[in-house]
A and B are shown apart, each in its own frame.
Chain A
Amino acid sequence: MKYPTLTDAEARDLRALAGEMIPASTTYNVPGADDDLIFADILRSLERDTADARTALAHLAKLAGGAFADLPADRRRAVAATFKQQGGAPLFALNRVVLLCYYRDDRVMRSLGQEPRPPFPKGHVVEQGDWSLLDPVKKRAPIWRRAD
Chain B
Amino acid sequence: MVNFNGVGGSTIMYTAHYPRLKPSDFRVKTLDGVADDWPIDYQTLEPFFAENDRMTGVSGLAGDPAYPPKQPPMPPIPMGKSGQRLAQAMNKLGWHWWPSDTSIATVDYEGRGRCLNLGHCTPGCAQGAKASTDITYWPAALRAGVELRTRARVCEITVDPNGMATGAVYYDEKGLKHFQPAEMVILACNGVGTPRLMLNSQSGKFPNGIANTSDQVGRNLMFHPYAFTYGYVDEPLDGNHGPPLCLWSHEFYETDKARDFVRGYIFQFGRGTGSIVEAITSTANGRLPWGEDHHKVYRSLLNRRIYLAAICEDLPEAHNRVTLDPAIKDSNGIPAPRIDYTVSDNSRRMMAHAHARATEVLKAAGAHTIAYDEVPNSGWHLLGTARMGTDPERSVVNGWGRCHDVKNLFIVDGSIWVTSGGVNPTSTIQALALYIADSIKKHLADGTLFE
Q: Which residues of A contact B (CB under 8 A)?
A: 20-23, 25, 27-28, 30, 77, 80-81, 84, 92, 95-96, 99-100, 102-104, 109, 112, 114, 119-131, 133-134, 136-138, 140-148
Contact = CB atoms under 8 A, between A and B. Distances in A.
A148 B284 CA distance: 49
Interface in B52-89: 61, 63, 65-68, 78-81, 83-84, 87-88
B27 interface: yes
Interface in B250-289: 250-251, 253-255, 275-276, 279-280, 283-284
A103 to B, nearest CB: 5
B327 to A, nearest CB: 25
Tell me if A's interface is mostly helix, strand, loop or mixed. Answer: loop
B330 interface: no
Tell me if B's interface is mostly helix, strand, loop or mixed. Answer: loop
Contact of B280 (A80, A100, A123): A100
B91 interface: yes
Contact of B290 (A84, A125, A146): A84
Contact of B117 (A20, A21, A80, A123): A123
Interface string B81-110: 101100110010010111000000000000
A124 B65 contact: no
Nearest to B284: A92
B295 A25 contact: yes
A124 B119 contact: yes
Nearest to B126: A120
A145 B31 contact: yes
B79 A129 contact: yes
Contacts of B67: 144
A104 B243 CA distance: 20
Nearest to B294: A22
A99 B279 contact: yes
Contacts of A102: 279
B96 A120 contact: no
Interface stretch (B9-17, B18-26, B215-223): B18-26
